[in-house]
Structure formats: C-alpha cells, structure tokens
Structure 1
Amino acid sequence: MTTAAAAETAHLLVVDDDARLRSLLQRYLTEQGFRVTSAPDAAAARRALSSMTYDLLVLDVMMPGESGLDLTESLRTEGNEVPIVMLTARGAPEDRISGFEHGVDDYLAKPFDPRELALRIRTILRRAAPSATPQPLAAAPVQLGARWFDIERAELRGPDGVVRLTGGEAALLQALARRAGDVLSREDIGEALGTPEAGERAIDVQVTRLRRKVEVDPREPRFIQTIRHRGYVLRPGP
C-alpha cells in the first residue's frame, strides 16, 4: 500500500462536545476517504482508545470535564504518541504554544475550513507513515550520544529500544538531521513541519520538548544547540 493510500484509509477519532460540529466533521472526513469514529468528551474518547487503535485524533480543547489539553498531556505521559490535531476557539499565539507544550502535533483555530483540516491530517499521516518508495541513497543514521536517529524512518533508538516521539517531534528531529551542521532558522523549521504560521515561540517549545528526549541534560544541550538570533543546529556526536 502506498503512503498516500495508507493516509486515506486511516482511522480517525474526532472528539468534540459540539454535536453539530462533530457530525459535520464525521460526515466530511468520511467523504474524504477516512474511517471516522466520534466521541462527545474525553471520557468517551478514553473508552474508545482502550478498545481500538487510532491513526490520529482530532481533539477539541474546551470540553466539559477533562479538557482536550489535559487528555493530551495524560496520553503523552502514558506513552501514547498518537498524532493529535487540536481544535480551539482560541487562536492567540499563547494558546498554540500551550497546545504544543502539552504534546499536540498541530493546531487549528475555529472557525476553520474543513478542507484545511483534511489537508493537515494528510500531512501528519504522510509524515508518520513509512515511505513505500525505495531510497537507494538513504542517509546514514545520526548518532546522538547513546542514541541513534534513523532519518528515513524518523525513528530514535537508544540502549533500551525505540524512544517514543510524537509526530511533531519526529518531524523536527528529521528536519534538523537532514541538515546536520547547518543552522536552521525558526522559519525554516516551521516550513519543514508544515506549520509556517506557528510562530517563533511555538518552535522553541517544540525544540524544548525534543531536547528532553535527546539530551542527557536538556538545560545544557550538546546536540540540539541554539544559535543566538539565527535558530537551531543539530550537532551529532558520541
């Protein structure tokens, strides 16, 4: 199956307490070729997640009971790295930053065009799926201390096995690793992640989260270094 075909047959879980919006999204995304299950709140989403594996969550921030941000943080703490697109009526930069801090992969402010949501979902799924195209000149894995990052598979391995990365973290490390030694501006990184509108602070948050999984001491990073006034550079090494 091609990467594009895999994206089209992905199983999505849409979680929103707005019954009308939930119904519209379920119908539209189904028409776009996805399998779609819906849930009205975090409790129902947890029940769905306990009995089924989903390829991506579309998750509202403000819901009665447990919020979308709290659910995301809980899933990440439990080691569940399912890609998450967050929906919210709050579109300010600090709200996007909060979403990234909690571990979401992308962020879409209401009201939104459902075509844009479908596009973002496909982008994340393609980013997460292994490529079906042979890579005769595949890049060599990048050493990051005791860990190795496979650029083509976007997979980080250490002495204890695979290190869990969110889709956003994997894409960020992949972008840095493809140009190891080069300084990437925050704008370059935003373009590589498919979120050019994310803003500098949101990129900084993503880098901070990634450092926690790559660096021995995230406060004194050896591998993902900040170049003042310019951006970030990945410096591989033992």
Structure 2
Amino acid sequence: MPDSGADLLVVDDDARLRSLLQRFLAEQGHNVAVAADAAEARAALAAMAFDLLVLDVMMPGETGLELAEALRRGGMETPILMLTARGDPDDRVAGFEHGADDYLAKPFDPRELALRIRTILRRAAPHAPPSPAPSGPIRLGERWFDPDRSELRGPEGTLRLTGGEAALLAALAARAGEVLSREEIAAAIGTPEAGERSVDVQVTRLRRKIEIDPREPRFLHTIRHRGYVLRPGP
C-alpha cells in the first residue's frame, strides 16, 4: 500500500473541517471521500473499499467510537485514525479499545494528520517485513504468523488483524523470546505518544486472536514491571 494515492474516507459532522481535510489530503495525492455521519460512512463503505478511515469521535447519533467498534465486530480491518476534541489519556485508550489504530486530538496541524496517515499506511502495507525480520513464519500453537505478509493463519483460515494488531505482533515476533518494554513497543508500532495503557489495550486485543484462553496466555506473556514477550511454540 503506498504512502500516497490511497483511498481515504473522512467522516466528520463539521462541514467546514470535512471540506478542509478533503482539499488538503487531495493535495497530498490521496483520493478522498467524505461523510457527515455514521450512516453516510456505512453507505460509502458499502460502495467501495478504502485504505484508511479518518473518523471523528463526537458525532450526533452513532458516535465514531460506536461506529468503529461495530465495523471491527463485522470483520473490517481497514485502519482507522480517530479525531477528537478530547485528547486525555483515557480518551485515547477508549479509542484503541474500540478498534482505532491511531488517535489525533483537535485542534491539530493538517501536516501532522498527513504524517500519521503515511505512518499508518506504511505499517499496514503488505510484504513489509519488520526490522530485523524473523526467519520465516512464527508458530503460535495451531496458528502461524507470517511477518512478511502480516498474516495470521490457522485451521480456520486467515484471521483478520487490524493494522495495529499486525504491527504489534510483527514487532514482538521480530524479537521473539526478548522482553520488550511498553515504550519500545509503542515506538515500534508507530504510536510513541499514545502511552503505556494504549499498548496494554493492543496486547489485550491481540491475545483474543492468538491465545486459546487470553486470561491464561501461552504465547504473549506479561513480564511484571518490564513489558511483554512473545514465546512462540506448538
């Protein structure tokens, strides 16, 4: 997936901001569609596939958080960048809990938004191995993670990973057996400003997909006061 020329959907109930973002992001080389609320966003998503959603949190009716959570439950893995007027840590964590890949507080510099979009698109790009790259797929019980394709496969087929989940698993797989601090993980997945709690949220989401019992993890372990470690195995 390229850094530019991506298909973006901007969802915000502020008509002026929608227009500004559509024009600015188009100048960055992207193809930009807009929606004023969740209903318009659903219609746009039904009509075409997007590379990334820029989604406002505070919208009348179905909020951005509710829409993101519903899309994730429905199996959509398109990256989501949340916009909100509330930028404290609890709000950022709520965004990640509802399926966001990144979070940007209003007011923001459009150049920072463009940079965040480029980062997310690079992170979600297929055939982009982490550095250093692990040697081949990583076994996690009956599932295998292929870092070259950012794919998690099992007896049931390919399991859906969001961009954030794939980036987290790739970062841990690249240093399998090593304990990574939350700060190292946040830097590796491109969200250093999001804080430690957001890493914990991403870990919780990932465990639901790789562990038989997320409450008793076999592969993704918490090392108290230090961070997390991935221990592959049968």
**Equivalent residues of 1:90, 1:109 under 8 A apart:** yes
Report what 2:184 is aligned to.
188
In the TM superposition, 1:100-139 aligns within 5 A as: 100-131=96-127, 139=135
**Equivalent residues of 1:139, 1:152 under 8 A apart:** no
CA distance, structure 2, for counterparts of residue 98 and residue 105 of structure 1 = 12
Report what 2:227 is aligned to.
231
CA distance, structure 1, for counterparts of residue 108 and residue 116 of structure 2 = 12
Q: Find the partner of 1:69 among 51, 65, 71.
A: 65
Report what 1:31 is aligned to.
27
In the TM superposition, 1:31-180 aligns within 5 A as: 31-131=27-127, 139-180=135-176
**Equivalent residues of 1:124, 1:167 under 8 A apart:** yes
1:202 to partner: Cα distance? 1.0
Report what 2:8 is aligned to.
12
CA distance, structure 1, for counterparts of residue 231 and residue 86 of structure 2 = 37
RMSD: 1.4
The amino acid of 2:41's aligned partner reads: A
1:132 to partner: Cα distance? 7.5
1:200 to partner: Cα distance? 1.0
1:139 to partner: Cα distance? 2.3
Could you report, residue by residue, the CA deviation over 1:84-105 in whole angstroms, capped at 9, with x for unpaired residues?
Answer: 0000000010000000000100
CA distance, structure 2, for counterparts of residue 39 and residue 102 of structure 1 = 20
Q: TM-score, normalised by structure 1?
A: 0.95
The amino acid of 2:196's aligned partner reads: E
SS at match of 1:47: helix
1:130 to partner: Cα distance? 2.1
The amino acid of 1:100's aligned partner reads: F
Report what 2:197 is aligned to.
201
**Equivalent residues of 1:139, 1:151 under 8 A apart:** no
**Equivalent residues of 2:177, 2:231 under 8 A apart:** yes
CA distance, structure 1, for counterparts of residue 176 and residue 75 of structure 2 = 28
**Structure 2, unaligned stretches of length 5 or more?**
none
SS at match of 1:7: coil
SS at match of 2:86: coil
Aligned residues: 232
Could you report, residue by residue, the CA deviation over 1:47-93 in whole angstroms, capped at 9, with x for unpaired residues?
Answer: 11111111100000000110000000000010011100000000010
Identity %: 73
